[in-house]
């Protein structure tokens, strides 16, 4: 028994190790390019050690575009957007997964259809709507939709998770006289922590990297976000690859950190705490 | 409960209707406002002398795309103009680094078009002009003493028809044959000529490209036992792929993209002959990388620097990156086919939207943006060429920009003389429905470069489909 | 005595149940209201607008004229030379990509769900390609899959296995795009991980007590317990695969010879490059119907395959 276990473990390590190498390649390529001279980046087959190490790339990349300002703008959109998404998507999904009401399944399916029409054709009508309301140029079109359900993807994902939580928990709570809202806050939310973390990670990535939304709706350069700033490095005549990669590395590092921190809090086996609570 | 449900449904219906109406109205409003704006601008143009004296504050919206370095130069040029008006004019400039067309489309659809915009000929500019959204700049050039057709360098203006000038470029761009001097010296071969009259014939060019194509055992393409599967160094690159590159030779062989009598030009013998000659560089002589090898070929600057190729056909703008890479290089004119050597001009442009309330100030801003002095850093740095003819003819003005590392040996002949005296406009200047035609031609050309089909066969095969998209010429 | 009190209790319960039910209707709608309003305000209007555009010659700059079904006729009759080709290419891609994505990311998630050292780090590594800018990833793929100099072909030929032209031949381009796509399935993997982490450990212990092995654990516990997640990821993979655009655009630009001309790329080209928004809208609605039908079909067939511990059917 023991032997097969160690053998199994070793096999898992080997497979994960080998796959990890291929998966980390693009990141390494970006990182080492960000520290190189332009000439060295495209040598084939790739060279992996920068020589000389050019830290100046970072200094130049981070000063040529007003990144501090763009960071502030990004954070405003990101924090408000995440708050809206997390509150309304968890609440809506709770209703779709665990409450019974007339029209529930109809509305759920209708909301799903919003993912099926290519964004290219709804972009302009959407813009015209915000334009008619006089909101173009502000952060409002970027933030407010998050407070209205936070997107079909999140609602659907949460619904799937909620539906895996044993029903007896709700029923027991109802008998105890708990309100639906109380069930949502004290049973559903704690037991679907993993899924909520996934949504928090995804919505962080979305607002951090969203380029099209800010580009279309913002009209003033002082309101630009990091993602727009990053695009500037891909010039019309030539791309300064070393600076593009330095800027890219700086921008994705927070994402990596958020991810590592976030997924640490995945639930590991829910029942022990769940059924007793 | 039922009542509450009904009430909610009613509210929702109102939302829907409201939404649909809003999106619908946006358009109507915009078309009405356009008319109003159009008549206003007509008046404004008529009464421009008084208007110019007006001291009411003016805010111009200006959109463009740029790298961070270029952005600084545009912003400075715009500011210089704004300062010259003693604060009467302020400029709200917005750099849109990518998806420019999408953003601009949204702005226009939302009835919020900029006053002045940088535009590109192959995308939405002509559709906009055909819908009457762009101002005819001829009214300004006719009267202007400093920017007009006598002072502008040739081939940098875009016309939607014979009398409607829709855009002026901040400068021309054209094509050069870049070469690595060290590689020519090592092979003991004469470098490409830079003078118009000395241009290589195609056969001379192929012979020299062969001598500079070397396999891993050190044999060049003229020698016995040369292995075309293991090429270390190519003689030439940059002829296939983008129409801007091979297009030069369509004209050089007397062909055209769409003929004067309205036929799809690329299937005509003059064009297929030129295309075949280029494909032969890849598949017969092995002196030019094919589509597969090209994917691992870096940009021109790195390819020349790392001695992967000896000669590269590329746009004038590449002087910037090649000089920055510190390549020991020179430039020559393109080899000639049936006709004398030539070069296409390709360039962006600045346009004024008809919806502007301030046509005179918009024109003044364009003048500031295309002024070679305000963009001198780009002109001298290698990316751009000046927009005014005097910078090509008067020695002291030439010296202002055509010297330094980004203006190498041969530049004055191969670039300045060619641009001024032997250049022609590229197809996006005058071919209607250009994108749709090329959507059909490009996939077929893939096969030609891969050597799967002859140019004549490939073009014949799509001739009918392409002809269906031909809608004539603007000139 | 006891019977009487029992009746009283059950009577109380039905009253409570009724109250709960009407309460449930109210709170159900109330809690779902943000999402419903969100759909009606931000999604439905633009959807209807695009449907209306699809019957016009709208270019975004002109006043649209109603042209009936002309746009739809144009592509079904073959006037548009790219419509059927791109539809075929896209279907082929979806057919390969959906199973490949699901199986691969599930496999990785299972591996990473084991008790191993440095698990947070490994999870991050597998998620990395999803957040690295596509241009950087594209560079790596161009190197790995280069037919002459690429690492993959070099390894294959060293092992005396057949090599491929990968992204550069009409036949192999779509499978190659699918292969490169496996790299960016980090999001799907994370969702699987979240699903796996929610499986109560008691179930595994129960299998062990019954003398079951890992095989039994997988088929009797893991698979049914993550079936809602598999279902979710499958639906999302179908929806997103039909709308594939960016990755292929950067890698192949639709080539060679239109072999990777994806539907949404064609649509985008018509809408924004050729300014035919009416026509692009018509294309979009055809895709909408295709995706809708396939999603409905998947929902139907899922009833017997997906196990929900806490499902409440709407009665």
Residue B394 burial (CB count, 10 A): 12
> What is the residue range of A115's domain?
65-232
pLDDT in tens, B252-265: 999 999 999 999 99
Tens of pLDDT, residue by residue over C75-89, are 899 888 899 999 999
How far are the Cα atoms of A126, B279, B334, B336, B339 from residue B248, in angstroms, in the given order?
43, 14, 8, 10, 11
- Cβ neighbours of A38 in B, within 8 Å: 301-302, 324-325
Q: How many other CB atoms are there within 10 angstroms of residue A274's CB atom? A: 17
* pLDDT digit string, tens, across residues B82-104: 999 998 999 999 999 888 988 99
Asked whether residue A53 is domain-assigned, the answer is: no
Work out the number of other CB atoms within 10 angstroms of the CB of residue A168. Answer: 11
Q: How confident is the model at residue B355 (pLDDT cuts 50, 70, 90)?
A: very high
Q: Domains (ranges, CATH) in chain B? A: 29-173+347-401 (3.40.190.10), 175-344+431-469 (3.40.190.10)
Q: Which residues of A touch B98 (CB under 8 A)?
A: 211, 215, 231, 234
Tell me, what CATH number does A74's domain have? 1.10.3720.10
Indicate the number of domains in chain A.
1
| Nearest beta carbon to residue C147 from set B292, B436, B447 | B292
Judge whether A190 lies within some domain: yes
Which residues of C are less than 8 Å from B102 in CB distance? Answer: 272
The per-residue pLDDT for B33 is: 41
Instruction: Output phi, psi for A229, to 5 deg.
Output: -60, -40
- Interface size B-C, in CB pairs within 8 Å, comes to 100
pLDDT score recorded for residue C116: 85
Tokens encoding A84? 């809206």
pLDDT value at residue C63: 83
The residues near C3 (Cβ < 8 Å, ≥ 6 apart) are none
Stretch B322-341: mean pLDDT, rounded?
92
B contacts of C63 (beta carbons < 8 Å): 27-28, 31
Q: For A216-230, what is the mean pLDDT? A: 91
Contacts of A215 in chain B (CB under 8 A): 96, 98-99, 102-103
CA dihedral B161, B162, B166, B169 (to 10 degrees): 120
Predicted pLDDT of residue B444: 92
Chain C residue with Cα closest to B13 = C40
pLDDT at B36: 42
**With contacts defined as CB-CB under 8 Å, which chain A residues touch C225?**
164
Task: Please determine, for residue B294, whether its predicted confidence score (pLDDT) is greater than 90.
Answer: no
B116, β-bridge pairs: B62, B352
In a domain, A150, yes or no: yes
Structure confidence at residue B339 (pLDDT): 87
Closest Cβ–Cβ partner in C40, C49, C258 for B23:
C49
Tell me, yes or no, whether A163 lies in a domain.
yes
Task: Flag if B306 and A42 touch (Cβ within 8 Å).
Answer: yes
Which residues in chain A have Cβ-Cβ distances shorter than 8 Å to C183? 22-23, 26
* C-alpha distances out from residue B419 to B99, B174, B245, C86, Å: 31, 7, 16, 42
* Residue B157 β-bridge partners: B168
Report pLDDT for B22: 45
Kindly determine whether residue B102 and residue A123, on different chains, have CB atoms separated by under 8 Å.
yes
A5-29 pLDDT, tens digit each: 788 888 889 999 999 998 888 888 8
The tens digit of pLDDT for each residue in C243-276 reads 998 876 778 878 788 899 999 999 998 888 888 9
- Taking 50 as the threshold, does the pLDDT of residue B164 lie above it? yes
Between chains, do B127 and C59 touch, taking CB under 8 Å as contact?
yes
Residues 6+ apart with CB under 8 A from A58: A34, A246, A249, A250
| Span B1-34, pLDDT tens digits | 455 555 555 555 555 544 544 444 444 434 334 4
B141 pLDDT band (50/70/90 cuts)?
very high
Q: What is the pLDDT of residue B25?
A: 42
Instruction: Give C257 to chain A, closest Cα distance, Å.
Output: 24
CA of C29 to nearest chain A CA: how many angstroms apart?
7
CB-CB under 8 Å, A234 with C190 = no
Contact A35, A50 (CB under 8 A): yes
Taking the CA of residue C53 and the nearest CA in chain A, the distance in Å comes to 9
pLDDT tens digits along B201-240: 999 999 999 999 999 899 999 999 999 988 989 999 999 9
Q: 3-state class of B331 per DSSP?
A: strand
Answer yes or no: is A59 within a domain.
no
Alpha helices in B153-222 (DSSP H): 181-187, 202-211
For the ranges A84-98, A145-159, B177-191, C186-200, the lowest mean pLDDT is seen at C186-200
**Structural domain includes residue A55:** no
CB of B304 less than 8 A from some CB of A: no
Taking residues A59-70, report their average pLDDT: 87
Q: How far apart are CA C44 and CA B231, in angstroms?
A: 58
Nearest to C38 among A105, A149, A209 (CB): A149
Q: Is residue A15 part of a domain?
A: no
Q: Which of B375, B387, B364 is nearest to B115 (CA)?
A: B364
Query: What digits encode the pLDDT tens for the residues B431-474?
Result: 999 988 999 999 999 889 989 999 999 999 999 999 999 999 99
For B326: left if phi > 0, alpha if psi spans -120 to 50, otherwise beta; the answer is left
Judge whether residue B124 has pLDDT over 60: yes
Nearest to B320 among A211, A234, A237 (CB): A237
Domains and CATH numbers, chain C: 78-302 (1.10.3720.10)
Q: Classify the C-alpha dihedral B181-B183-B189-B191 as positive or negative.
A: negative
Q: Do A133 and B22 make contact, defined as CB atoms within 8 angstroms?
A: yes
Question: What mean pLDDT is predicted for residues B157-169?
Answer: 93
Residue A80 lies in a domain: yes
d(CA A177, CA C13): 12
Nearest to B67 among A123, A220, A236 (CB): A236
Minimal CA separation from A238 to chain B, in Å: 7
Average pLDDT (A121-127) is 92
Interface with C, mutate which of B8, B18, B127, B286 (most C CBs under 10 A): B127
- Touching check for B24 and chain C: CB below 8 Å? yes
The string of pLDDT tens digits covering residues C129-165 is 888 877 778 777 877 887 776 788 888 888 888 888 8
Instruction: Tell me the per-residue pLDDT of C204-258, one tens digit each, with 9 for 90 and over.
Output: 888 989 888 888 999 999 999 999 999 999 999 999 999 998 876 778 878 788 8
Interface of B with A in 79-118 (CB under 8 A): 92-99, 102-103, 105-106, 109-112
pTM (two decimals): 0.86
Measured between beta carbons, the chain C residues lying within 8 angstroms of B12 are 36-37, 40
Q: CB-based contact (8 Å) between B439 and chain C?
A: yes
Q: What is the pLDDT of residue B6?
A: 55
Which residue in chain A has the smallest CA separation from B314?
Answer: A237
- Nearest Cα of chain C lies from the Cα of A25 at a distance, in angstroms, of 7
Best of B25, B28, B242, B292 to disrupt the C interface (most C CBs within 10 Å) is B292
Does B155 have pLDDT greater than 70?
yes
């Amino acid at each position: 028994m023991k032997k097969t276990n160690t053998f199994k473990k070793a096999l898992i390590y080997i497979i994960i190790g080998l796959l990890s190498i291929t998966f980390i390649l693009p990141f390494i390529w970006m990182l080492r390019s960000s520290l190189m001279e332009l000439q060295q980046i495209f040598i084939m087959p790739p060279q992996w050690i920068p020589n000389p190490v050019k830290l100046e790339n970072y200094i130049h990349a981070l000063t040529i575009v007003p990144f501090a300002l763009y960071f502030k703008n990004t954070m405003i959109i990101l924090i408000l957007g995440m708050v809206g998404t997390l509150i309304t998507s968890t609440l809506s999904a709770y209703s779709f997964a665990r409450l019974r009401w007339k029209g529930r399944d109809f509305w759920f399916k209708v909301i799903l259809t919003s993912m099926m029409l290519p964004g290219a054709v709804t972009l302009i009508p959407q813009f015209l709507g915000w334009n008619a309301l006089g909101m173009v140029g502000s952060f409002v079109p970027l933030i407010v939709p998050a407070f209205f359900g936070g997107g079909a993807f999140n609602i659907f994902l949460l619904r799937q998770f909620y539906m895996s939580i044993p029903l007896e928990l709700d029923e027991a709570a109802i008998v105890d006289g708990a309100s639906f809202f109380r069930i949502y806050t004290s049973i559903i939310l704690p037991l679907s922590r993993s899924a909520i973390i996934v949504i928090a990670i995804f919505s962080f990535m979305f607002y951090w990297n969203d380029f099209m939304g800010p580009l279309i709706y913002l009209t003033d350069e002082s309101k630009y976000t990091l993602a727009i700033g990053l695009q500037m490095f891909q010039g019309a005549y030539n791309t300064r690859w070393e600076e593009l990669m330095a800027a890219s590395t700086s921008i994705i590092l927070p994402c990596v950190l958020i991810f590592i921190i976030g997924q640490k809090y995945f639930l590991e086996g829910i029942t022990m705490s769940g059924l007793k609570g | 409960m039922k009542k509450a449900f009904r009430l909610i449904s009613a509210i929702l219906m109102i939302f829907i209707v409201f939404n649909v109406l809003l999106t619908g109205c946006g358009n109507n409003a915009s078309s009405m406002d356009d008319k109003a704006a159009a008549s206003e601008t007509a008046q404004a143009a008529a009464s421009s002398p008084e208007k110019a004296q007006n001291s009411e504050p003016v805010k111009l919206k200006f959109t463009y795309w740029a790298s961070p370095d270029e952005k600084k130069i545009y912003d400075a040029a715009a500011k210089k103009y704004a300062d010259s008006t003693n604060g009467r004019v302020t400029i709200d400039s917005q750099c849109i680094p990518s998806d420019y067309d999408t953003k601009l489309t949204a702005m226009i659809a939302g009835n919020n078009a900029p006053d002045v915009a940088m535009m590109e000929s192959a995308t939405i500019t002509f559709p906009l002009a055909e819908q009457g959204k762009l101002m005819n700049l001829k009214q300004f050039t006719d009267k202007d003493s400093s920017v007009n057709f006598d002072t502008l360098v040739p081939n940098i203006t875009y016309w939607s028809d014979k009398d409607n000038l829709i855009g002026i470029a901040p400068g021309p761009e054209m094509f050069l044959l870049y070469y690595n001097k060290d590689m020519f010296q090592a092979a003991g071969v004469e470098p490409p000529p830079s003078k118009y009259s000395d241009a290589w014939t195609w056969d001379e060019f192929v012979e020299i490209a062969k001598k500079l194509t070397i396999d891993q055992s050190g044999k060049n393409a003229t020698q016995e036992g040369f292995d075309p599967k293991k090429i270390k160094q190519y003689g030439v690159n940059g002829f296939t792929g983008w129409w801007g590159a091979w297009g030069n030779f369509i004209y050089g062989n007397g062909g055209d993209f769409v003929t004067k009598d309205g036929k799809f030009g690329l299937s005509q013998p003059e064009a297929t002959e030129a295309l075949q000659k280029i494909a032969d560089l890849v598949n017969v002589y092995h002196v030019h990388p094919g589509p597969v090898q090209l994917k691992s070929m870096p940009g021109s600057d790195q390819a020349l620097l790392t001695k992967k190729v000896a000669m590269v056909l590329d746009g004038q703008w590449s002087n910037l990156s090649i000089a920055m890479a510190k390549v020991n290089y020179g430039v020559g004119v393109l080899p000639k086919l049936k006709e004398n050597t030539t070069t296409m001009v390709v360039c962006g442009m600045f346009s004024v939207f008809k919806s502007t309330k301030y046509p005179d100030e918009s024109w003044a801003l364009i003048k500031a943006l295309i002024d070679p002095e305000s963009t001198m850093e780009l002109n001298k740095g290698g990316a751009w060429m000046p927009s005014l003819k005097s910078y090509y003819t008067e020695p002291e003005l030439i010296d202002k920009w055509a010297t330094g590392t980004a203006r190498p040996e041969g530049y004055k002949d191969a670039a300045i003389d060619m641009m001024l005296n032997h250049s022609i406009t590229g197809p996006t200047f005058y071919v209607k429905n250009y994108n749709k035609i090329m959507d059909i031609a490009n996939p077929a050309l893939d096969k030609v470069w891969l050597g799967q089909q002859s140019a004549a066969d490939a073009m014949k095969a799509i001739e009918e489909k392409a002809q269906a998209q031909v809608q004539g010429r603007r000139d | 005595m006891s019977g009487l009190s029992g009746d009283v209790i059950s009577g109380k319960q039905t009253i409570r149940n009724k109250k709960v039910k009407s309460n449930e209707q109210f709170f159900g709608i109330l809690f779902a209201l943000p999402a419903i309003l969100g759909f009606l305000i931000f999604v439905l209007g633009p959807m209807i607008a695009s449907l209306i555009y699809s019957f016009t010659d709208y270019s975004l700059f002109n006043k649209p004229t109603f042209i009936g079904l002309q746009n739809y006729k144009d592509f079904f009759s073959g006037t548009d030379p790219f419509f059927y080709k791109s539809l075929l290419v896209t279907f082929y891609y979806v057919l390969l990509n959906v199973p490949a994505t699901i199986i691969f990311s599930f496999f990785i998630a299972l591996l990473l769900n084991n008790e191993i050292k440095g698990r947070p780090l490994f999870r991050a590594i597998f998620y990395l390609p999803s957040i690295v800018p596509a241009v950087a990833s594209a560079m790596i793929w161009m190197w790995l899959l280069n037919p002459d100099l690429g690492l993959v072909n070099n390894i294959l030929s060293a092992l005396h296995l057949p090599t491929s032209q990968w992204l550069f031949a009409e036949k192999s381009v779509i499978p190659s795009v699918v292969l490169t796509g496996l790299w960016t399935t980090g999001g799907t993997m994370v969702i699987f991980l979240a699903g796996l982490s929610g499986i109560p450990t008691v179930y595994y212990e129960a299998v062990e007590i019954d003398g079951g092995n890992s095989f039994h654990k997988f088929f009797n516990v893991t698979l049914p317990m993550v079936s809602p997640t598999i279902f979710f990821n499958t639906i999302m993979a179908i929806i997103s695969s039909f709308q594939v655009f960016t990755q292929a655009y950067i890698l192949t630009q639709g080539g060679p010879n239109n072999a990777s001309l994806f539907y949404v790329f064609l649509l985008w080209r018509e809408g924004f490059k050729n300014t035919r928004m009416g026509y692009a809208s018509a294309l979009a609605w055809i895709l909408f119907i295709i995706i809708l039908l396939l999603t409905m079909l998947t929902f139907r067939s899922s009833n017997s395959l997906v196990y929900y511990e806490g499902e409440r059917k709407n009665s």
